[in-house]
Amino acid sequence: MADLRNNFVGIKSPNPFWLASAPPTDKAYNVERAFKAGWGGVVWKTLGEQGPPVVNVNGPRYGAIWGADRRLLGLNNIELITDRDLYTNLREMKQVKMNWPDRALIASIMVPCEEESWKAILPLVEETGADGIELNFGCPHGMSERGMGAAVGQVPEYIEMVVRWCKQYTRMPVITKLTPNITDVRKPARAAKSGGTDAVSLINTINSITSVNLDTFAPEPSIDGRGSHGGYCGPAVKPIALNMVAEIARDPETYGLPISGIGGITTWRDAAEFLVLGAGNVQVCTAAMTYGFKIVQEMITGLSDWMDAKGHRSLDDITGRAVPNVSDWQYLNLNYIAKAKIDQDACIKCGRCHIACEDTSHQAITQFVDGVRHFEVMEDECVGCNLCVNVCPVENCITMEELPPGSLDRRTGKIVDPNYANWTTHPNNPMAVQAAE
């Protein structure tokens, strides 16, 4: 059986599935239920300093994007950090950790960008027995207008400064949560590493307005006739999150920096993709809010079964395995050739492949043969873009068939070069030539 036990910067949990800092981790009741369901750890909803209370809206807090089948693809939320008293949260955290010593409990923290504020809250959190802290430098709404959250996460110098304070004033491992609302996520990651962070977590939510009510002309969710930008999360953000995780994992300046992957994780396969791209564990929110805490059981079983089937004994066997295969475009093998092929037995004659190719691509799919409705790829015109594969409603009806080296590429009339299977060593690649010299 695959061993799913996780050791992330010294924080141990029975599996790599943590609940992210969010509404599901706002109180002991929720967290206890999560642990009973099987979650390996939780990041408690973000704590603020003791002082003027945080006040959330008493109305709709979520906007949504749905698929055609009403499946939830994305949530926009305008909820702030915890609006519960700091000491109430601290008492509950301490009790939960005592009840569940084998589970990871991380405190998410956001206080003003002042040394005394961080110095004051860290000992209070440490006294709870929490396993670590996560610095919330990502929240894009509400708190960022007050100079916290993403307002800090978008300034690498501030990130480095606060991380240094935290490493100075606490024994706990420090995880720095990064905002995706930035041009190059590597820069804040480098700053966090320079400050001494033990790990980074990403992505936090993306600035968004999901929809506008065309009767009231206000963004949704609407509060008394007005709306605000919020944080976007859920399955729709997964591609953005995967790319940002990979960027940090393969950056020479942050190589080896532990990563907690966040963003649209709904299934075991999603989690596995984050792990192989360099994440040491994963955090989940929207899936739990959509399907309930027990969804973790499917994630645990699915990941374990896949690892067993592939012969992977532990998480160390898969973590980062895909990172060497993430390349900049100029290093892709331009001698690789693949063509689309339609399985005529599976084809339902809907014509979506034809119209997509005819209108927007390379006019490489027939519509009629001898007056009969028939769809077939014309290899001479096919450039292997695989648009037809993606628009076809029948899974595996259209596949991409690789042409082996030495075969004829009918589109160009040239032989697929068998001597240069890898573009990174091709003599026409200037980077390869420069490296050889």
Q: What is the mean pLDDT of the chain?
A: 91
Same domain assignment for residues 154 and 255: yes
CATH of the domain at 180: 3.20.20.70
Q: How many domains does the chain have?
A: 2
Banded model confidence at residue 321, pLDDT cuts 50, 70, 90 = very high
Same domain assignment for residues 232 and 345: no
Mean per-residue pLDDT, 277-281? 98
Same domain assignment for residues 339 and 242: no
What's the rounded Cα separation, in Å, for the pair 430 and 437? 11
Chosen domain end from 310, 325, 340: 325
Same domain assignment for residues 140 and 285: yes
pLDDT digits (tens, 9 = 90+) for 127-174: 999 999 999 998 877 677 677 777 888 899 999 999 999 999 999 999
Same domain assignment for residues 299 and 366: no
Chosen domain end from 269, 294, 325: 325
Same domain assignment for residues 234 and 292: yes
Same domain assignment for residues 340 and 321: no
pLDDT at residue 264 is higher than 50:
yes
CB 296 within 8 A of CB 39: yes
β-pair partners for 132 = 106
* Cβ atoms < 10 Å from Cβ of 4: 18
pLDDT value at residue 418 = 55
pLDDT value at residue 433 = 45
Residue 1 lies in a domain: no
Q: Report the percent of the chain where pLDDT is more than 70.
A: 92
Residue 199 lies in a domain: yes
pLDDT value at residue 315 = 98
Residue 55 lies in a domain: yes
Query: Measured in whole angstroms, how far is the alpha carbon of residue 357 from the centre of its chain?
Result: 31
CB 104 within 8 A of CB 42: yes
Mean per-residue pLDDT, 49-63? 81
Same domain assignment for residues 99 and 29: yes
What single DSSP character describes residue 178? P
CATH of the domain at 431: 3.30.70.20
What's the rounded Cα separation, in Å, for the pair 371 and 360? 24
Mean per-residue pLDDT, 336-347? 95
pLDDT value at residue 54 = 81
pLDDT digits (tens, 9 = 90+) for 371-420: 899 999 998 899 999 999 999 999 999 999 998 876 766 656 666 665 54
Please give the angle made by the CA atoms of 397, 398 and 401, to the nearest 5 degrees: 130
Residue-wise over 94-126: b if at least 16 C-beta within 10 A, else e?
A: bebbeebeebbbbbbbbbebeeebbeebbebbe
Residue 184 lies in a domain: yes
Same domain assignment for residues 86 and 184: yes
Q: Which of 378, 391, 410, 385 is nearest to 350 (CA)?
A: 391
pLDDT value at residue 422 = 47
Domain extent for 377:
329-436
Residue 24 lies in a domain: yes
The catalytic residue positions are 139
Chosen domain end from 296, 325, 354: 325
Strands in 216-337 per DSSP E: 218-220, 230-233, 259-262, 281-284
Residue 410 lies in a domain: yes
Same domain assignment for residues 85 and 125: yes
Residue 181 lies in a domain: yes
Same domain assignment for residues 311 and 336: no
Q: Report the percent of the chain where pLDDT is more than 90.
A: 74
Same domain assignment for residues 352 and 364: yes
Residue 107 lies in a domain: yes
Distances (CA, A) of 109 to 48, 117, 175, 288: 6, 11, 10, 22
